[in-house]
Amino acid sequence: MAISTADFKNGLTIEVDNAIWRIIEFQHVKPGKGGAFVRSKLKNLRTGAVQEKTFRAGAKMEQAPIETRKMQYLYADGDSRVFMDTDNYEQIAVPDDTIKDQLPYLQENMEVNLVQYGSETLGIEVPNTVVLTVTATEPGIKGNTASGGSKPATMDTGLVVQVPFFVNEGDKLSINTQDGSYISRAN
């Protein structure tokens, strides 16, 4: 389906230069001299690269028909991960290279969205927050909490997160999957 720059919105997927891009952010610019244009920040869904592109106002391009399917993460199989469709129990193996940014947040039986373009798997979408268990961190020293500092903690998936001094090994923490930051202790 052909769309123009007037139809841009965050999260929309478009096809430009034989690549599939997701719009992260965009801005319509109307300078005092010259024609209007749209400045955009796009993420390549195949490579994960983020690029800034400028389009003339009203420029036409194809919208990429992206399909998301609810899947359940089952297990690691060599250098790929196996997911099961929760509707028809079909299993799909996704190479680790395709989902390397989401690997530190994956836990067995976790529900994710599998992102596909036709029959090509582009990646997965994990929930915005996940609960992970601290497996290794320095013990908190009494009196350190007032400074508001932080220390590194290794989670059960191998992810290293900066956490407050009061966090101990065995604690369950809520982690933001967008930037890998500590949110709070989980109940």
CATH number for position 176: 2.40.50.140
State the Cα torsion 185-112-179-119 to the nearest 10°.
170
Dihedral-angle region of residue 11 (phi above 0 means left; psi in -120 to 50 means alpha; beta otherwise): left
Rg (C-alpha) for the chain, rounded Å, is 21
Query: What is residue 84's predicted lDDT score, i.e. its pLDDT?
Result: 94
Mean pLDDT, the chain, rounded, equals: 88
Same-domain pairing of 93 and 139:
no
Q: Summarize the confidence of residues 28-38 as an average pLDDT.
A: 91
Same-domain pairing of 57 and 70:
no
Q: How confident is the model at residue 150 (pLDDT cuts 50, 70, 90)?
A: confident
Same-domain pairing of 52 and 82:
no
Pick from 119, 4, 110: nearest CA to 63: 4
Whether the pLDDT of residue 17 is over 60: the answer is yes
Query: What is residue 144's predicted lDDT score, i.e. its pLDDT?
Result: 56
| Count of domains for the chain | 3
C-alpha triplet 131, 137, 138: angle, nearest 5°: 150
If one compares 144 and 7, the residue with the highest pLDDT of the two is 7
Evaluated on CA atoms 132, 127, 101, 39, the torsion sign reads negative
Q: What percent of the chain has pLDDT over 90?
A: 41
Domain span at residue 11 reads 2-63
Same-domain pairing of 7 and 46:
yes
Q: How confident is the model at residue 146 (pLDDT cuts 50, 70, 90)?
A: low
Three-class DSSP labels, 11-78: CCEEEECCEEEEEEEEEEECCCCCCCEEEEEEEECCCCCEEEEEEECCCEEEECCEEEEEEEEEEEEC
Q: Summarize the confidence of residues 22-32 as an average pLDDT.
A: 92
The pTM for the full model equals 0.73
Whether the pLDDT of residue 12 is over 80: the answer is yes
In three-state secondary structure terms, 5 is helix
